């Protein structure tokens, strides 16, 4: 069963917290941001008179012994932090142990925890956060199953950018709706188009989006009666907090993803592109590198499209075209690009390169114009239109 929307999980966690913390709560899932939010709420709910012990599981390295079968809990010496759960810590009658990034910690101590679970006294507890919960040991699997049934395991996945119904646009996706909800809560409400612009420029990571919304709040101030901010209000106000490469740019172009292509382009020129030696590529090399790689990828898709139009089956297409990696992506690109569109794309790239050499126009502007030509059918300058 798929994990629910993270906002729904947070609401469920809130209900649990209000009724009192149980002896064990597990926070898991792929979203660092929402796992962090959940742990913040749990720690805040720890009684003030309880002793609080925090453990960073990242400091513990996994070992081969951790994967050994089901050692009986009684035969395993309890870790110091778990001994507190038997009946309080040194300075309090009750105690809570908070474990962050606990994948390796859980693997090492899961058998002990399974044996200890029923003995944790009221008012004490274990709050465990880990992207994944290892269940290979029988006693660990049994405990997790029991906790799931009791509603004490919370899984936080990433927000979906697109809705399940692909005929609807990204405005109906979870990510856009979440940005709208958070912006309103922070006092800087956005229009739906503005939320999409924010996602396109800042990225899809909730933590970065949240930080950017806080920055907008500091710029615009909190105003409960102000109309939602339109895209024009955000011009020159947003930052770019993620990196991209010509490879991602080409992929977005050929997969027909306008937003992703613009986001990639903005990031490359705002933050640069890392080379294999770790150094940032000179900005003058971005246009030649990007256009060269895109030309190569268009050529590959062009060959695939010719084969498809001549009757080659989709199953045999990657092999016939010499594509042995990322075949699914290649087939997607072949399906969504006609020969006419690919030809026009090559013409637009040639025009972009000519204008760079002859006029010296800004490289980012030239590639933005290419996107308009590729996605929107904007006119392409011919060689005769350039002043020679």
Among the listed residues 114, 158, 108, 156, the one whose alpha carbon sits nearest the alpha carbon of residue 132? 156
Query: Is the distance from CB of 321 to CB of 300 less than 8 angstroms?
Result: yes
Q: How many helices (H) and strands (E) does the chain have?
A: 15, 5
Instruction: Write down the pLDDT at residue 388.
Output: 42
Query: Measured between alpha carbons, how far is residue 242 from residues 29, 209, 247, 310 in Å?
Result: 22, 11, 15, 41
At 38-68, the pLDDT tens digits run: 999 999 999 998 889 999 887 776 565 555 5
Contacts for 387 with CB less than 8 Å, ≥ 6 apart:
none
Query: Is the distance from CB of 76 to CB of 65 less than 8 angstroms?
Result: no
Helix 363-376 × helix 339-358 angle, to 10°: 160
Instruction: Write down the pLDDT at residue 75.
Output: 42
Tens-binned pLDDT, residue by residue, of the chain (388 aa): 678 999 999 999 999 999 999 999 999 999 999 999 999 999 999 999 888 999 988 777 656 555 554 444 444 467 788 887 876 555 667 899 999 999 999 999 999 999 999 999 988 999 999 999 999 999 999 999 999 999 999 999 999 988 888 678 888 999 999 999 999 999 999 999 999 989 888 878 898 899 899 989 999 998 878 899 999 999 888 876 567 889 999 999 999 988 888 888 888 887 788 776 667 788 788 999 999 999 999 999 999 999 999 999 999 999 999 988 888 889 999 999 999 999 999 999 999 998 888 877 889 999 999 999 999 899 998 755 555 4
Is residue 56 helix, strand or coil? strand
Torsion of CA 374, 376, 382, 383, to 10 degrees: -50
Beta bridge partners of 53: 97
Query: Measured between alpha carbons, how far is residue 276 from residues 241, 273, 279 in Å?
Result: 21, 10, 7
Query: Measured between alpha carbons, how far is residue 10 from residues 35, 41, 64, 80, 146 in Å?
Result: 9, 9, 35, 31, 20
Contacts for 200 with CB less than 8 Å, ≥ 6 apart:
259, 262, 263, 266
For the chain, give every domain's residue range: 6-155, 170-234, 246-385
Right CATH number for 246-385 from 3.40.50.300, 2.40.50.140, 1.20.272.10, 1.10.10.10?
1.20.272.10
φ and ψ at 183, to 5 degrees? -60, -40
Topology given in CATH for the domain delimited by 6-155: Rossmann fold (3.40.50)
Instruction: Write down the pLDDT at residue 305.
Output: 95
Contacts for 3 with CB less than 8 Å, ≥ 6 apart:
9, 29, 155, 156, 157
Percent of the chain with pLDDT over 70: 90
φ and ψ at 5, to 5 degrees? -55, 135
Instruction: Write down the pLDDT at residue 167.
Output: 73
Architecture of domain 170-234: Orthogonal Bundle (1.10)
Reported residue count of the chain is: 388
Beta bridge partners of 128: 26, 99
């Amino acid at each position: 069963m798929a994990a629910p929307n993270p906002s729904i999980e947070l609401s469920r966690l809130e209900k649990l917290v209000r009724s009192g913390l149980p002896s064990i709560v597990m926070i898991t899932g792929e979203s660092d941001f929402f796992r962090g939010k959940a742990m913040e709420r749990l720690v805040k709910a720890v009684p003030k008179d309880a002793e609080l012990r925090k453990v960073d599981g990242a400091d513990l390295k996994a070992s081969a012994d951790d994967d050994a079968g089901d050692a009986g809990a009684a035969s395993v010496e309890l870790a110091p932090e778990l001994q507190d759960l038997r009946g309080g810590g040194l300075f309090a009658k009750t105690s809570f142990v908070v474990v962050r990034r606990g994948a390796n910690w859980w693997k090492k101590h899961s058998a002990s925890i399974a044996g200890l679970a029923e003995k944790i006294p009221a008012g004490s507890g274990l709050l465990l956060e880990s992207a994944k919960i290892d269940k290979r040991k029988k006693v660990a699997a049994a405990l997790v199953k029991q906790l799931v049934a009791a509603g004490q395991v919370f899984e936080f996945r990433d927000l979906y950018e697109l809705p399940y119904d692909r005929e609807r646009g990204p405005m109906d996706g979870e990510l856009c709706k979440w940005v709208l909800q958070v912006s309103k809560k922070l006092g800087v409400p956005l229009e739906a188009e503005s939320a999409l612009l924010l996602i396109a420029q800042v990225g899809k990571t909730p933590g970065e989006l949240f930080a950017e919304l806080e920055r907008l709040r500091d710029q615009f101030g909190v105003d409960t009666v102000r109309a939602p901010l339109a895209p024009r209000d955000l011009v020159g106000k947003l930052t770019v907090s993620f990196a991209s490469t010509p490879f991602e740019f080409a992929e977005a172009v050929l997969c027909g993803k306008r937003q992703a292509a613009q986001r990639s382009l903005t990031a490359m020129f705002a933050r640069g592109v890392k080379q294999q030696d770790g150094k940032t590529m000179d900005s003058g090399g971005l246009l030649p590198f990007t256009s060269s790689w895109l030309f190569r990828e268009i050529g590959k898709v062009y060959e695939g499209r010719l084969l498809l139009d001549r009757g080659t089956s989709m199953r045999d297409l990657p092999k016939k075209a010499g594509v042995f990696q990322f075949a699914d992506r290649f087939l997607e690109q072949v399906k969504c690009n006609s020969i006419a569109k690919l030809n026009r794309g090559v013409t637009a790239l040639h025009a972009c390169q000519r204008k760079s050499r002859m006029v010296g126009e800004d490289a980012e502007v030239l590639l933005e114009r290419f996107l308009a030509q590729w996605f929107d059918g904007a006119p392409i300058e011919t060689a005769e239109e350039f002043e020679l």
